[in-house]
Structure 1
Amino acid sequence: MSDTPSSSTTASADAPSALWGAVEDLVRWLDRESVLPPEQERLLRILKLSEEAGEVAQAVIGATGQNPRKGHSHTWDDVHSELCDVILTAMVALRTLTPEAQGVFEGHLRRVAERVPSPRGGAGA
């Protein structure tokens, strides 16, 4: 077995940078197109999360057919897409609040991961 990383491993290592680069591009575009004062724009980007979370709920209800009037109006692929919208919207909101969004997120993720018990029974891995 080779010790050389496969292209998928290399691509995975670059994925966070590419992801946050795309978020940066979205924030720049939104900033450029906004006609609102920066404070209002910042608040609305945070509130957009609630709208997107509501769309996830709507898609789950549609995928499970829980609304008798609408039936199965969504698929689980729709739920996946809406969840991605929530994640992306949160990333844009975080980047809007701080230029250090990637570091803030990675630090938070690390702290959360440290609280997860390892398979050997201790906290962290």
Structure 2
Amino acid sequence: MDETSRAAVAAAVRWLNQHHGNGPQQQTMRILKVTEEAGEAARAWIGVTGQNPRKGVTHTPREVADELADVALSALVAIESLGFDPAQVLSACAAKVLDRLPR
């Protein structure tokens, strides 16, 4: 994670905590936010492919990438809200994936 991402995650968690606290219900809502954002990414991809004949092509691949970034940032906010360092959790996950891939 770069410094901009780290700062954005920390600022979002502070802001959410100030408005809603950080109890189990709020942690749940932050985890569910990841799913909401994933749905937006899926909707954008459907829009790229023109899968809905009524709507046609409505999105660009860049818009899909932006929505996927929202998914990632929401996940990092949820991780920090659970009391973990998002950069460390992300790095450990990446290392696990590298270990599973053929060299």
Give the structure-1-normalised TM-score: 0.74
- How does 1:49-88 map onto structure 2 within 5 Å? 49-88=34-73
Aligned residues: 103
CA 1:37–1:89 in 2, change beyond 3 Å: closer, same or farther? closer
Root mean square deviation of aligned Cα? 1.7
- Render the CA deviation track for 1:80-118: whole Å, top value 9, x for unaligned: 111111010111111111233322221221121122111
Letter in 1 for 2:8: A
- 5+ unaligned residues in a row in structure 2: which ranges? none
The one of 19, 28, 45 equivalent to 1:33 is: 19
* Per-residue deviation, 1:37: 6.5
CA distance in 1, matches of 2:80, 2:54: 40
CA distance in 2, matches of 1:93, 1:66: 31
Q: Which runs of 4+ in 1 moved over 4 A?
A: none
CA distance in 2, matches of 1:33, 1:50: 21
- Render the CA deviation track for 1:18-61: whole Å, top value 9, x for unaligned: 42232111111111122x66211100000111111111111011
Give the structure-2-normalised TM-score: 0.88
Q: Report which of the two has the higher share of helix.
A: 2
| 1:19 matched residue in structure 2 | 5
- 5+ unaligned residues in a row in structure 1: which ranges? 1-14, 119-125
1:117 aligns with 2:93: no
| 1:98 matched residue in structure 2 | 83
CA distance in 2, matches of 1:21, 1:28: 11
Larger Rg: 1
Calculate percent identity across the aligned residue pairs: 43
